[in-house]
Structure 1
Amino acid sequence: MSIPVQKVRKPEQQPLSSIPSSFREYMISFGPGIVMVLSWLGAGDLVDMSVSGAHYGYNLMWGMIIALVLRYILVNVISKYALTNVHEETIIQGYYRLYKYLPLFFGIASLLLAHFYAAYLVKGAGEALLYLTNIGTTFMWSSIVVIAAILLVINGIYNFVEITIKGVLVLMVVSLVGSAIWVGPDLPAIAKGTIAFSVPKNVGGVDTLVFVFSLIGAVAGSMSNLIYPYLFKEKGWQGPQYLKLQRYDLLFGVVMIIIIDLAVWTLGAEILYPKGLTIESVSDMAQMLTLTLGMLGGILFYLGVLGACFKTVIVYALGFGTLFVDAIHTTFPERGKKYNREYTKDPIYKLTLLVTVVLPVIWALPSMPGFVYLTIIVNAFQIVLLPAVAIGLMVLTNRKELLGQFANKWWENVLLLLLIGLTLWSTWHILSTLV
Structure 2
Amino acid sequence: MTDRGTDDVGTSEGRQTRRWSIVGPGIVVAATGVGAGDLVATLVAGAEYGYTLLWAVVLGVVVKIALAEATGRWHLATGSTIFAGWRSLGPWTTVYFVVYVAIWGFVYGATAMTSSALPLAAMFGGSIPAWGIPCGLVGLVLVWFGSYPLFEKIMTVLVGVMFVVVVGLAILVLPDVPAMLAGLIPTLPQGSGIYTLGLVGGVGGTVTMAAYGYWVNAKGWRDSSWIKVMRLDNRVAYITTGIFVAAMLVVGAELLYTANIALVESDRGLLDLDAILEQRFGPVIATLFLVGFFATSFSSLLGVWQGVSLMVTDFVRTRREAVAKTPEELQAAGQLSDDAERSTPFRLYLLWLTFPPIVLLFLGRPFALVVAYGALGAFFMPFLAITLLWLLNSSRTPREWRNGWLSTTLLVGAAVLFLVLCVTELMDTFG
> For 1:428, which of 419, 423, 428 is the aligned residue?
423
Give per-residue Cα distances to partners, 1:61-80, cap 9 Å, x unaligned: 34323322111111101111
Q: 1:418: which partner in 2?
A: 413
CA contact (8 A) 2:60 2:200 kept: yes
Match of 1:398 in 2: 393
What code does the residue aligned with 1:139 have? Answer: P
Aligned-pair identity (%): 24
Name the structure 1 match of 2:123: 132
TM-score under structure 1 normalisation?
Answer: 0.84
Cα–Cα, structure 1 residues 263 and 336, in superposed 2: closer, same or farther, change >3 Å?
farther
Partners in 2 of 1:104 and 1:347 — Cα distance? Answer: 22
Contact 2:3 2:149 in 1 (8 A): no
- 1:358 aligns with one of 355, 360, 366: 355
Residue 39, structure 1, aligned to residue 36, structure 2: no
Amino acid at match of 1:287: A
Match for 2:84: what amino acid?
Q
Name the residue aligned to 1:299: 287
1:311 equivalent in alignment to 2:299? yes
CA 1:401–1:379 in 2, change beyond 3 Å: closer, same or farther?
closer
SS of equivalent residue, structure 1 residue 120: helix
User: Quick one: structure 1 residues 378 and 69, their matched pair in 2 at CA, closer, same or farther if it must change by over 3 Å?
Assistant: farther
Match of 2:258 in 1: 274
Gaps of 5+ in 1: 1-11, 202-207
Separation in structure 1 between the aligned mates of residue 138 and residue 323 of structure 2, nearest angstrom: 30
Query: Structure 1: how far apart are the matches of 2:373 and 2:274?
Result: 21
- Structure 1 residue 122: Cα displacement: 1.1
Matches for 1:74-93 after TM superposition, within 5 Å: 74-85=67-78, 88-93=79-84
Moved more, 252-261 or 424-433: 424-433
Alignment of 1:203-214 (within 5 A): 209-214=193-198
SS of residue paired to 2:262: coil
**CA–CA separation in structure 2 for the residues paired with 1:242 and 1:308:** 29
Contact 1:272 1:288 in 2 (8 A): no
Change in 2 beyond 3 A, CA 1:364/1:61: farther
Aligned residue pairs total 407
1:286 aligns with 2:268: no
**Greater mean alpha carbon deviation, residues 139-148 or residues 411-420:** 411-420
Q: 1:347 aligns with which of 333, 344, 347?
A: 344
* 1:329 aligned to which of 286, 300, 317: 317
Q: CA–CA distance in 1 between the matches of 2:198 and 2:103?
A: 17
Q: What is the aligned partner in structure 1 of residue 56 from structure 2?
A: 63
Q: Counterpart amino acid of 2:174? A: G
1:248 Cα deviation after fit: 0.7
3-state DSSP of counterpart to 1:250: helix
Deviations 1:224-272 (A, max 9, x none): 1111111121111011110111111111111211221111111111012
The alpha-carbon deviation at position 288 of structure 1 amounts to 5.0
- 8 Å contact 1:92–1:330 — kept in the other structure? yes
1:154: which partner in 2?
Answer: 144
CA contact (8 A) 2:57 2:246 kept: no
Distance 2:233 2:36 in 1: 22
Preserved CA contact (<8 Å) 1:143 1:361: yes
Distance change (3 Å), C-alpha of 1:104 and 1:353: farther
Counterpart in the other structure of 1:122 = 113
Q: Is the 8 A contact 1:76 1:247 kept in 2?
A: yes
Does 2:225 correspond to 1:241? yes
Deviation, structure 1 residue 317: 1.0
Runs of 5+ consecutive residues of structure 2 not aligned to the other structure: 326-335
Aligned-CA RMSD value? 3.0
